[in-house]
Amino acid sequence: MKIKYISQAWLVLVLAVSFGGALAGVDEWLQPRIKANKLAATINEIPTLVPHADKAVSERYLPVEVTVGEGKFQTTYEVFWALDKDSNPLGWVIKATGAGFADKIELLIGVDAKCEVITGLSILDQKETPGLGNKIENVGDENQRGFLWQFRKYGHHADEPLAVTTASPKMNEFNKIKAVTGATISSRSVCNIINEALSGQLRTALAEALTDGPTSRPAKKE
């Protein structure tokens, strides 16, 4: 019986292995370039995520790598310095990834230097449902506030978990995020990624890094 199945499915197996190998090769070739693009996009976002940060100064320093959790729950975060023109730390930009509704969501979270306030949020990569979940990328303006507006203007506390609501939060309700209509799971995923990233362990590690000061990037080879 097993032989019958294998004899029927051998083509699928051969194709799966061949295509898998080809994709691995393509990924090996393109991954450094994709990473460089994402790094450039991250650095471009620093002034948006931490107000008054200087992009040119911030990009001169190496990101801090912080590992939190234990065993299989261990996660390593890349945290970028957000510095002013005189290289004084203004805050951090934390690169965090987690499960969304359709695929993984990559976020850039801006926090102040002491990790007390969320100063901004940006979506680096997402593949949520078009027309619904992908509205988590909308910033909007004063008149038509998008999902990201809530993270950039409201100054939510970084040391308290964010919670998603379907109704608009009241003025005195901090850390309440209004979900995108029809995309509560995507909205909740974003908040979960932030809550997980802004754990006590990460904030302690960043406080230590703040004391040590930033490390310059090695000069590029000619």
Report which secondary-structure segment, H or E, holds 109: strand 104-112
Looking at the Cβ atoms of 186 and 214, the one nearer to other proteins is 186
Site string for other proteins, 150-189 (x = CB under 8 A): ----------------------------------------
Asked if 12 and 18 count as a contact pair (C-beta separation under 8 A), the reply is no
Q: Which of 1, 3, 11, 167 binds other proteins (CB under 8 A)?
A: 11
Q: Which two tokens stand for residue 148?
A: 């990201």
Q: Does 208 bind other proteins (CB under 8 A)?
A: no
Q: Does 102 bind other proteins (CB under 8 A)?
A: yes
Looking at the Cβ atoms of 11 and 171, the one nearer to other proteins is 11
Q: Does 6 bind other proteins (CB under 8 A)?
A: no
Please list the alpha-helical segments (H only) found in 50-155.
Answer: 55-58, 149-153
The count of residues interacting with other proteins (CB under 8 A) is: 24
Site for other proteins in 127-146 (CB under 8 A): 127-131, 134
Q: Which two tokens stand for residue 172?
A: 């005195």
- Using CA atoms, how far residue 117 sits from 4, 127, 153, 213, in Å, is 62, 28, 11, 20
Sheet strands (E) in 114-205? 118-125, 163-165, 176-178
Looking at the Cβ atoms of 15 and 56, the one nearer to other proteins is 15
